[in-house]
Amino acid sequence: MKFFVDTADVAEIADLAATGLLDGVTTNPSLVAKAGRDFKTIIREICALVPGPVSAEVAALDYEGMITEGRTLAKIAKNVTVKLPLTWEGLKACKTLTGEGTMVNVTLCFSANQALLAAKAGATFVSPFIGRLDDQGLEGMELISEIRTIYDNYETLSTQILAASIRTVNHVKQAAMIGADVSTVPPAILKALVKHPLTDKGIETFMADWKKTGQKI
C-alpha cells in the first residue's frame, strides 16, 4: 500500500519525505487555510519535495470553473493531481481532465455507487472518507471493502482506492488488509505507525545491557 500524507505543512512534508516513506501528498481547502500561505506556492513547494502525486483541490463547483482551475493547477508541476468533488459536474470535469492526461483525485466519496461512477469517469484516485462515515455511526471500512470488490470485478477499472479521513493507526492496518491502494494519513498518524511499547522496552533493555559492557562503537 502507498502512503500519502494529508497536510499542507511544507516543513512537515520535508521531514517525512526524508524517510523515503512518502509516495504522495493530499491537500484540501481546510488544510491550506490552516497553513495560512499562498495556495499555488504551497503546491509548487510540495511538488518539488515529493515526486509522487500531489493533490490540489479546485474551488469551483461548476464544470467550466473546475476545468479552468484544474488546468491552472496542472501547470504548476507534472505531479499535480487535480482534486474534484464527487458531483455530476465533478465527474464531467474528471472525464475531460483525465482525457488531457491530468491525474484526477475524485474526493468526498461516501458510497460504493459513487466510487463506481468515479472509476467510469476515469478517475486516477477515488477518496472514500472512512472517519466521517464512522462519525455517523456507519462502518467506514465496509465502504473500502465494497469498492475493492467492485473494482476487482472489472479489469477495465484502473482507479486506485485512496483511503481518506484516516483517524487511527488501526484504520491504516484495516485499509491495507482490505486492499486499499493508498492511505492518506495525517503526519501524526504516519509517525505513530512505527510505535510499539515492546519496541521501546526492547531498546531500553538493550541500551542498559550495552552500558554495562563499558564499550563504544
What is the per-residue DSSP string for 93-151? HHHHHHHTT-EEEEEEE-SHHHHHHHHHTT-SEEEEBHHHHHHTTS-HHHHHHHHHHHH
Identify which of 135, 143, 141, 182 has the alpha carbon closest to the alpha carbon of residue 162.
Answer: 182
Q: Say how far apart CA 174 and CA 162 lie, in whole Å.
A: 13
Confidence (pLDDT) at 199: 96
Q: Establish how many alpha carbons lie within 13 A of residue 119's alpha carbon, considering only the half-sphere containing its beta carbon.
A: 22
What SS3 class is residue 165?
coil
What is residue 90's predicted lDDT score, i.e. its pLDDT? 98
How far is residue 93's CA from residue 118's CA, in Å, rounded to a whole number?
A: 11
pLDDT at 134: 93
| pLDDT range class, residue 106, cuts 50, 70, 90 | very high
pLDDT at residue 80, as a whole number: 98
**Spatial contact of 52 and 79, defined as CB atoms under 8 Å apart:** yes
Residue tagged active-site, from 2, 83, 95, 212: 83
Nearest to 72 by CA among 97, 90, 47, 91: 97
Contact 75, 54 (CB under 8 A): no
User: Domains plus CATH for the chain?
Assistant: 2-213 (3.20.20.70)
Q: pLDDT tens, 38-61?
A: 999 999 999 999 999 999 999 999
Report residue 70 CA to chain centroid gap: 18
Could you read off the pLDDT of 109-127 as tens digits, one per residue? 999 999 999 999 999 999 9
- Residue 173: active-site member: no
